Chains A and B, each alone.
Chain A
Amino acid sequence: MEDYAEELRTPPVTLIYLVGCPDLHPTISSYLHSEQPPINTLALPDFSKISILGRTQKETVDSGQHGGILKRDWLLKHRTKVPAVVAALFSSDQVSGDPAQWLQVCTDLENLKIVVRGRNIKLVVVLVQSTDKDEVSEDRMIALRKRAEIDSKYLIFFIHNDASELTESLNRLGGALAELANLYYRDEGRRIKTRIEKKNFNHIELNIRYCFKVAVYAEFRRDWVEALRFYEDAYRALREMVGTSTRLPPIQRLVEIKIVAEILHFKMSTLLLHGGKVVEAVVWFQQHIVSYKTLVGAPEVVFLHWDWMSRQFLVFAELLETSAAAIPNTSSLILGSSERLLSEWEFHPAYYYELAAHYMREKRYCLEVALSPSETLKRIESSSESVIQYVFVGQFARLLEQGEAFVMQTLTDAEYVHYALAEGKRFQDSYEIIALLKKSFESYGNLKARRMASYCGSQMAREYFTLGEFSNAKSLFDGVASLYRKEGWITLLWEVLGYLRECSRRLGSVKDFIEYSLEMAALPISSVAESSSCKGEYGPAGSPALPQREMIHKEVFGLVKGEPILTSDEGNCNLAITDDQPLHLEIDLVSPLRVVLLASVAFHDQVVKPGVPISLTLSLLSQLPHPVEIDQLEIQFNQSECNFIITSAPKETVGASSVGETDTRLDSVPNLNLVTNKWLRLTFDIISEQSGKLECLSVIAKLGPYLTICCRAESPASMDDLPLWKYEDLVQTFPTRDPALAFSGQKVVQVEEPDPQVDLVLDATGPAFVGERFLVPVTVTSKGHAIYSGELKINLVDARGGGLVSPREAEPFSMDSHHVELLGISEPDGESEFQAGMDNIKKIQQSFGLLPIPFIKLGDSWCCKLEIKWNRPKPIMLYVSLGYLPNSEAGAQTVNVHKSLQIEGKTAVAMGHRLMLPYRRHPLLLSKIQVASESDHSPSLALNETNILIVSAKNCSEVPLRLMSMSIEMNDDEIGHSCTVQQGGDSPLDNARLVPGEEFKQVFSIIPQLSFPKLAMGTVSLRWSREFGFEEQSCSSLTATKVLTCYKLPDVNVEMVPLIVSLECPPHAVLGSPFTFYVKIQNETVLLQEFKHSLGDSQSFVLSGIHNDTIFVLPKSQHILGYKLVPLVSGLLQLPRVTVTSLRYSAELQPSLSASTIFVFPCKPQFMVDDMGSKLPEPIAT
């Protein structure tokens, strides 16, 4: 695009002239230039210069015999020389001045008019005034206008001394100029248009020229639609000219047509693209190419045609690129809006760049063909001198010197061809092609079209290759090859590798040469099927066929054996491997050379004991076309002492100990020949002394004296398919004979630890109890190993799974959230001073402990105790592992012993409680009446009444326990004062022994002293210990530890009691003897209370007293109902039922059955007389 002249590339801009008053010119010019649309200005200082506007002698050339289509300088002339409007500036004092000045004005105007009228140029007269005050007389004004023959509106007053007036004037002037310029271009366009319409031309060339001119004038007016239409007309007319015109010699004729077509098409594309009509532009371009593609022209200048084609694509690509930058949404165009579906790439410049490069290559080829007859070269040099471009676009002429003047002489076709060839030689097409391809490559890369990009890349690389820039070519080819490798395009890869091989040969890089050659030789190119279909250009690789692969194979192995290869055709440099530069190739898991050598290593087992041999199968596979003989294989492990070497010579095996001084094992097998696509399987035994992982790292094959290939070992189980070969239709083969091993074999084996010779004993007697410090003795006994730097690891794990911590449950007993915790480790008594020093080494956490143990001699033992405390009944697993070194040497390996033990955690004591009211005393508890329906209310106690609490502790374990004390502890001071707790029964526990299943009860009396709805009664603390049997206590060192079990009593509701009904009767009665039975009703309130009471009849008694009545009890006083009863029968009898009803509280009281029974003796019991007074009343008192 840069080849085009500026006037073609940019839209034309209106041109005007300014004459006179030169000091105003800069102001006016800059104003007009910044107008929208801008106007270019040519400023002439005075009227004497006006003659340059006059016609030159070129008219004569125009009418000459030798015509053309477009004149080269026509457009430039209209943009830089021929104005649309001339503005004549006169100052007001000139106009209104003395007659001499006025005369001068008139003369200038006349001269101007003569010049202007010939070309229809419009005229504006500007009267420059310094202020609007200095008036010019009306007569002079009219005279001036008449002289200038202009409309009054084109006589403009220009006032320049006042800023606002100046702007006003400039606006006025600008408006008039734009209007007139538009008028001028329209008139000119119309004038030529009429010529077209009247077909007023002799030649078709003129038609084209006229259309072009109309279009340009339309462009001046920014009438893009008309411009486009006339460009199209011109283009069509031009296309018709092909084959009909006879004006020029045929070669030059076609050249001219094509160049004009190019210009016209360029104009159209620009207009279309700037109008955003990308689809139309692309369709136009295609038509353009289709209609000119076949116009190849004479055979000797075919290259010109391809050059032209290439330029079309390049220019269109550049146009697309610039317009894509201007119009961002070209990519979102709806495809297929025209009837023909356009594909994606046709909207991207990359496509056109690539084709431009393609045609450029075509051009280069044709040019080379045209230049090849060497004898023409000389002549070309001489005859191409002094040929220049002719006045018409696309024509060339020879410039001859005739005396003083230069004369143009037309060329014959032969002369032109020579000129064109000479011109063609000047350009370096290869770099041009590379530049084009590079643009395409980058553009495709941005579009993420990798395959297109790599195609461009490979073409670019080929250009570099032909230019001899091998390192550039190689880096490009490398990128391309990786894509082809990945996608398995073998034929394409073959070609690229061929180039790469050649590049590295030319660059003298032995390693690369061998790598590429080996890869080529191992490509899956089968013998028959493909070779027939793969004709054509494959570059230095040759055709992809088996013989070629075999040839490459032989060449490489010849090189490996020391036969040098020439690096260049001149033969002055050798490619060889020498012993001072041995070659080492690495093949890893992603290397393309895996097809050359693949090493699979499988151990036959997954674990092995140290010192025990394990079988290892090494399988090698190669896809090279010929068998490969391996001289030596070295297998390397992560434990280097296991490394060994395999040689193929069987005779050397006996004397192989010569290698023994390097401590490397030497094996030999009869045959180390690798046959194409056939696994070479070798099985060996390996002994590892070191526990841990034994992994085969790599297999190093030595081929010939200088080449080693290091192949990363792969496990058959996780081995990828061979790249490229995996698409081939081959029989599946396994690296090992045993197919199961092929699927599961690993290159890693776990070497176990040596067997421990130490006993680790965990002792635990029975279940552990919650709360107790449970001791687990751990004994370490050395049986075969002395123990150096041993270490015990202790772990507590929930046996049922789940953690030992439950964050949700609040722990009432222990602030610690662990259900089971390791409290400590106590060591043997004798080493207590030693223990103090080790405290900092011991690490004990709730469920984990770490304990170093001292050196233990062979046969000795060592013991410690683990203290574990259960906070919740929970079974746990106790894991103890001992790690030690069997000797004190530096390389000794740790031996581990693991033991585990499940320990149940149980609750030893089940605690319970019962609250009771005093016997035969019934306080009215209002809450009982009101919320009888609610089941979960806390027990209610009467204020200031004695209540009885019975706490029971039951042994639910399987061992006897010894109880030490039971007490109720108030845990809060304030509430502690609120009730009095007394321990009933004066007897202490006396270390009561509690056999399994037995229940122990303790009675407390509680007198609440504070009315409070939620009164805490405190916590029962039970201290107990495990009671060991006699023999247990003697034999083990276990000592009973005191355990505190806490039991929280529920909160009680203490309330005021309004009424208390108590029954009183003797503890027993005697048959036939009367006794008194009282019902005492006590009113604790300050109100008068009304009661109803009734007494039921009983057959067992004869009674006297009121059966039914209503009574009133005064505040804070007591009413006593007395009945006299005579028992009629003996035994445990039910007293007559008493029912007391409080009317105020509508509460009825019926004593319970147990409270209203009495035992009646048949006669007076004699034996009890003494005790009666002291013992029997006791239950009532408590």
Chain B
Amino acid sequence: MIVCVAVVGHQNNPLYLQSFTEADDALKLHHIVHCSLDVIDERVNNPKKTGPTLNETFLGLLYPTENYKVYGYLTNTKVKFILVTTDLDVRDADVRNFFRRFHLAYVDAVSNPFHVPGKKITSRTFADRVSDIVRTFGLGTAV
């Protein structure tokens, strides 16, 4: 289950962060998303280590915490998408698919002429679309 998705801007500032849990761990998820930026920095700054993922937007598993797994995605405009899930066994293809759809939703949201680039995304449509994507995570390929 996806517990949290986040969009992080150039200056590593959160642009959108939504958690999907009933539990009281929103703050913890904030921490997880924030800490995962370190891994993204590391991967972006030392691309030779990751080898095959060079020039790829999907950054893969960023780091496992005790209960969660964190995946990352970096757009060409250096906006980061972060996904936190509780599933211990996640297929890479599912995550890639998720990020692809999420990216499309993000592009639509920032293409809104009333959106100022670099500011938080407050669009309700975007939020709805994201929760839709989150809900169908893993289903599309399973069927």
- A residues contacting B by CB (< 8 A) are 332, 334-335, 341, 343-346, 351, 355, 358-359, 444, 447, 449-452, 455, 484, 487-492, 495, 529, 533-538, 726-729
Q: Which of A444, A492, A729 contacts B120 (CB 8 A)?
A: A729
Q: State A727–B27 Cα separation when bound (angstroms).
A: 20
Q: Which of A335, A449, A729 contacts B116 (CB 8 A)?
A: A729
Contact A492 B31 (CB under 8 A): yes
- B residues contacting A by CB (< 8 A) are 9, 11-15, 17-19, 23-28, 30-31, 34-35, 37-39, 41-43, 49-51, 60-64, 66, 115-116, 118-120, 122
Q: Separation in Å of the A348 CB from the closest CB of chain B? A: 10
Q: A346-B63, A727-B118 are in contact. Are A488 and B35 (CB under 8 A)?
A: no
**A-B residue pairs, 4 tightest by C-beta:** A536-B24, A488-B13, A449-B38, A343-B63
Q: Which of A355, A358, A455, A533 contacts B35 (CB 8 A)?
A: A455
User: Which residues from chain A contact B63 at a C-beta distance below 8 Å?
Assistant: 343-346, 351
Q: State A529–B16 Cα separation when bound (angstroms).
A: 11
- Nearest B residue to A344 via CB reads B42
Q: Separation in Å of the A731 CB from the closest CB of chain B? A: 10
User: Which residues from chain B contact A444 at a C-beta distance below 8 Å?
Assistant: 38
20 example contacts (A-B, Cβ-Cβ < 8 A) are as follows: A334-B51, A341-B60, A344-B63, A345-B63, A358-B66, A447-B42, A450-B38, A451-B34, A452-B35, A455-B34, A487-B11, A489-B30, A489-B34, A492-B31, A533-B26, A535-B24, A537-B24, A727-B118, A728-B120, A729-B120
User: Which residues from chain B contact A450 at a C-beta distance below 8 Å?
Assistant: 38
Q: Which of B18, B30, B42, B119 contacts A727 (CB 8 A)?
A: B119
Q: State A729–B117 Cα separation when bound (angstroms).
A: 10
Q: Separation in Å of the A537 CB from the closest CB of chain B? A: 6
Q: State A1137–B35 Cα separation when bound (angstroms).
A: 112
Contact A535 B42 (CB under 8 A): no
- Nearest A residue to B51 via CB reads A334
User: Which residues from chain A contact B35 at a C-beta distance below 8 Å?
Assistant: 449, 451-452, 455
User: Which residues from chain A contact B41 at a C-beta distance below 8 Å?
Assistant: 449
- Nearest B residue to A535 via CB reads B24
User: Which residues from chain A contact B61 at a C-beta distance below 8 Å?
Assistant: 341, 343
- Nearest A residue to B13 via CB reads A488
- Nearest B residue to A313 via CB reads B66
Q: Separation in Å of the B128 CB from the closest CB of chain A? A: 14
- Nearest A residue to B118 via CB reads A727
Contact A495 B27 (CB under 8 A): yes
Q: Which of A332, A351, A359, A729 contacts B122 (CB 8 A)?
A: A729
Q: State A728–B15 Cα separation when bound (angstroms).
A: 9
- Nearest B residue to A456 via CB reads B35
Q: Which of B12, B17, B64 contacts A487 (CB 8 A)?
A: B12
Q: Which of B9, B23, B34 contacts A492 (CB 8 A)?
A: B34
Q: Separation in Å of the A595 CB from the closest CB of chain B? A: 15
Q: Separation in Å of the A805 CB from the closest CB of chain B? A: 51
Contact A491 B119 (CB under 8 A): no
Q: State A537–B118 Cα separation when bound (angstroms).
A: 29
- Nearest B residue to A444 via CB reads B38
Contact B27 A537 (CB under 8 A): yes
Q: Separation in Å of the B109 CB from the closest CB of chain A? A: 12
Q: State A455–B19 Cα separation when bound (angstroms).
A: 19
Q: Separation in Å of the B86 CB from the closest CB of chain A? A: 14
User: Which residues from chain A contact B30 at a C-beta distance below 8 Å?
Assistant: 489, 491-492
User: Of residues A450, A455, A489, A538, which shows the largest number of chain B Cβ atoms within 10 Å of its Cβ?
Assistant: A489
Q: A343-B63, A343-B64, A344-B42 are in contact. Are A489 and B14 (CB under 8 A)?
A: yes
Contact B39 A345 (CB under 8 A): yes
User: Which residues from chain B contact A536 at a C-beta distance below 8 Å?
Assistant: 23-28
Contact B13 A727 (CB under 8 A): yes
Q: State A706–B56 Cα separation when bound (angstroms).
A: 59
- Nearest B residue to A538 via CB reads B27
Q: State A534–B26 Cα separation when bound (angstroms).
A: 6
Q: State A619–B97 Cα separation when bound (angstroms).
A: 50
Q: Separation in Å of the A353 CB from the closest CB of chain B? A: 13
Q: State A359–B67 Cα separation when bound (angstroms).
A: 12
User: Which residues from chain A contact B62 at a C-beta distance below 8 Å?
Assistant: 343
User: Which residues from chain B contact A484 at a C-beta distance below 8 Å?
Assistant: 34
Q: State A452–B13 Cα separation when bound (angstroms).
A: 16
Contact A535 B26 (CB under 8 A): yes
Contact A727 B15 (CB under 8 A): yes
User: Which residues from chain B contact A346 at a C-beta distance below 8 Å?
Assistant: 63-64
User: Which residues from chain B contact A489 at a C-beta distance below 8 Å?
Assistant: 13-14, 30, 34
Q: State A835–B52 Cα separation when bound (angstroms).
A: 86
User: Of residues B34, B49, B119, which shows the largest number of chain A Cβ atoms within 10 Å of its Cβ?
Assistant: B34
User: Of residues B24, B115, B120, which shows the largest number of chain A Cβ atoms within 10 Å of its Cβ?
Assistant: B120
User: Which residues from chain A contact B51 at a C-beta distance below 8 Å?
Assistant: 334
User: Which residues from chain B contact A335 at a C-beta distance below 8 Å?
Assistant: 49-50
Q: Separation in Å of the B63 CB from the closest CB of chain A? A: 4
Q: State A495–B37 Cα separation when bound (angstroms).
A: 19
- Nearest A residue to B119 via CB reads A729
- Nearest A residue to B124 via CB reads A529
Question: Given A344-B63, A490-B14, list of 10 further CB < 8 A pairs?
Answer: A332-B49, A341-B61, A346-B63, A449-B42, A484-B34, A491-B30, A536-B24, A536-B27, A537-B24, A537-B27
Q: Separation in Å of the A449 CB from the closest CB of chain B? A: 4
Q: State A443–B31 Cα separation when bound (angstroms).
A: 18
Q: Separation in Å of the A627 CB from the closest CB of chain B? A: 25
- Nearest A residue to B15 via CB reads A727
User: Which residues from chain B contact A359 at a C-beta distance below 8 Å?
Assistant: 66
User: Which residues from chain B contact A332 at a C-beta distance below 8 Å?
Assistant: 49
Q: Separation in Å of the A592 CB from the closest CB of chain B? A: 15
Q: State A344–B14 Cα separation when bound (angstroms).
A: 23
Q: State A490–B23 Cα separation when bound (angstroms).
A: 20
User: Which residues from chain B contact A728 at a C-beta distance below 8 Å?
Assistant: 119-120
Q: State A490–B120 Cα separation when bound (angstroms).
A: 12
Q: State A491–B50 Cα separation when bound (angstroms).
A: 32
Q: A335-B49, A344-B42, A346-B63 are in contact. Are A727 and B34 (CB under 8 A)?
A: no
Q: State A341–B50 Cα separation when bound (angstroms).
A: 10
Contact B31 A455 (CB under 8 A): yes
Contact B19 A487 (CB under 8 A): no
Contact B119 A492 (CB under 8 A): no
Q: State A696–B25 Cα separation when bound (angstroms).
A: 48
Q: State A329–B50 Cα separation when bound (angstroms).
A: 16
User: Which residues from chain B contact A533 at a C-beta distance below 8 Å?
Assistant: 18-19, 26
Q: Separation in Å of the A220 CB from the closest CB of chain B? A: 38
Q: Separation in Å of the B99 CB from the closest CB of chain A? A: 16
User: Of residues A359, A450, A536, which shows the largest number of chain B Cβ atoms within 10 Å of its Cβ?
Assistant: A536
Q: Separation in Å of the B71 CB from the closest CB of chain A? A: 10
Q: Which of A334, A341, A451 contacts B38 (CB 8 A)?
A: A451
Contact B24 A343 (CB under 8 A): no
Q: Separation in Å of the B111 CB from the closest CB of chain A? A: 15
Q: State A161–B50 Cα separation when bound (angstroms).
A: 65
Q: State A726–B14 Cα separation when bound (angstroms).
A: 12
Q: State A1058–B34 Cα separation when bound (angstroms).
A: 105
Q: State A447–B26 Cα separation when bound (angstroms).
A: 27
User: Of residues B11, B30, B38, which shows the largest number of chain A Cβ atoms within 10 Å of its Cβ?
Assistant: B38
Q: State A533–B18 Cα separation when bound (angstroms).
A: 8
Q: State A334–B120 Cα separation when bound (angstroms).
A: 38
Q: Separation in Å of the A343 CB from the closest CB of chain B? A: 4
Q: State A620–B41 Cα separation when bound (angstroms).
A: 38
Q: State A166–B44 Cα separation when bound (angstroms).
A: 64
Q: Separation in Å of the B5 CB from the closest CB of chain A? A: 12
Q: State A728–B37 Cα separation when bound (angstroms).
A: 21
User: Which residues from chain A contact B15 at a C-beta distance below 8 Å?
Assistant: 727
Q: State A492–B6 Cα separation when bound (angstroms).
A: 14
User: Which residues from chain B contact A491 at a C-beta distance below 8 Å?
Assistant: 17, 26-27, 30
- Nearest A residue to B18 via CB reads A533
Q: Separation in Å of the B90 CB from the closest CB of chain A? A: 12
- Nearest A residue to B9 via CB reads A727
Q: State A452–B65 Cα separation when bound (angstroms).
A: 12
Q: Separation in Å of the B94 CB from the closest CB of chain A? A: 15
- Nearest A residue to B27 via CB reads A536
Q: State A552–B24 Cα separation when bound (angstroms).
A: 23
Q: State A495–B9 Cα separation when bound (angstroms).
A: 21
